[in-house]
């Protein structure tokens, strides 16, 4: 069964190039699931802040985590309005004119207020999901958090209720008068792959490099 689209709001309605916008829930999920890094924007004491953070999704919520002493997380925990953005860069678009150069991308913008995850079992499940979001299969192999580590980790969740996606894909769009300009035009696709893994110098137990490290790549999802 297909999930219903996300209801658009004044804050998520695209003003610039609205044809690139989407409120398709599956697309929003796909972009969030492929990404690793978000930027968390909020206002505090009359000043704007934008903080890069790791994140992950479970169902209809995204999660953030950090130390309980984090000023940002403590403020978000109090119900501060927050704006979260995720952007995936898919390629460079090289046009015949400087003006029409662009980039192919998929992005999500999300507004909301964070909820504090207090239950230890829910926190453990969330942290396992985070581990597998970054490196699928890793959570089952590592030592789980002990009680002190769990107590020292603050986890916040934000509902995916007010969000939209924006996507640019395809070749350059040049003006008719520039079509014969003597320069190469096209796309340079980009995607995230891992380089050769480096073994920790203090590794005491000899183990082969796992496939998820040797062949690491973020799988392409969504449009394209």
Give dist(CA 165, CA 148) in Å, integer: 38
Place of tokens 């169902």: 59
Task: Kindly give, in sequence order, each residue whose CB lies less than 8 Å from that of residue 108, ignoring residues fewer than 6 positions away.
Answer: 28, 31, 32, 35, 85, 86, 163, 164, 165, 166
Rounded to the nearest 5 percent, the helix, strand and coil shares of the chain are 20, 35, 45
3-class DSSP state for residue 115?
strand
Would you put residue 112 in left (φ > 0), alpha (ψ -120 to 50) or beta?
Answer: left
Residues in the chain, total: 224
For residue 200, the model assigns a pLDDT of 94
For residue 1, the model assigns a pLDDT of 53
Mean pLDDT split into 10-residue runs, the chain, 224 residues: 83 84 93 97 92 96 92 86 96 98 97 94 96 95 94 95 96 97 97 93 91 89 46
For residue 23, the model assigns a pLDDT of 92
For residue 221, the model assigns a pLDDT of 56
Average confidence score pLDDT of the chain: 92
Classify domain 18-172+203-214 at the CATH topology level.
Pnp Oxidase; Chain A (2.30.110)
Give dist(CA 33, CA 220) in Å, integer: 10
């Amino acid at each position: 069964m297909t999930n219903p689209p996300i209801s658009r709001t004044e804050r998520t309605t695209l003003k610039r190039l609205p044809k690139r916008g989407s409120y398709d829930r599956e697309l929003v999920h796909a972009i969030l699931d492929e990404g690793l890094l978000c930027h968390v924007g909020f206002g505090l004491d009359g000043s704007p802040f934008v903080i890069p953070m790791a994140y992950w999704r479970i169902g209809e919520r995204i999660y953030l985590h950090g130390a309980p002493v984090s000023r940002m997380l403590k403020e978000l925990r109090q119900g501060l309005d927050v704006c979260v953005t995720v952007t995936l860069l898919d390629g460079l678009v090289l046009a015949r004119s400087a003006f029409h150069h662009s980039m192919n991308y998929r992005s999500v913008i999300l507004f909301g207020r964070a909820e504090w995850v207090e239950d230890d079992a829910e926190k453990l499940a969330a942290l396992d999901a985070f581990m597998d979001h970054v490196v699928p299969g890793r959570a089952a192999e590592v030592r789980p958090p002990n009680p002190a580590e769990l107590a020292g980790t603050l986890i916040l969740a934000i509902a995916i209720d007010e969000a939209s996606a924006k996507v640019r894909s395809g070749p350059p769009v040049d003006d008719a008068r520039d079509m014969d300009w003597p320069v190469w035009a096209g796309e340079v696709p980009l995607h995230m792959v891992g380089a050769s893994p480096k073994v920790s110098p203090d590794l005491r137990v000899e183990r082969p490099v796992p496939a998820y490290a040797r062949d690491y790549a973020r799988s392409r999802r969504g449009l394209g």
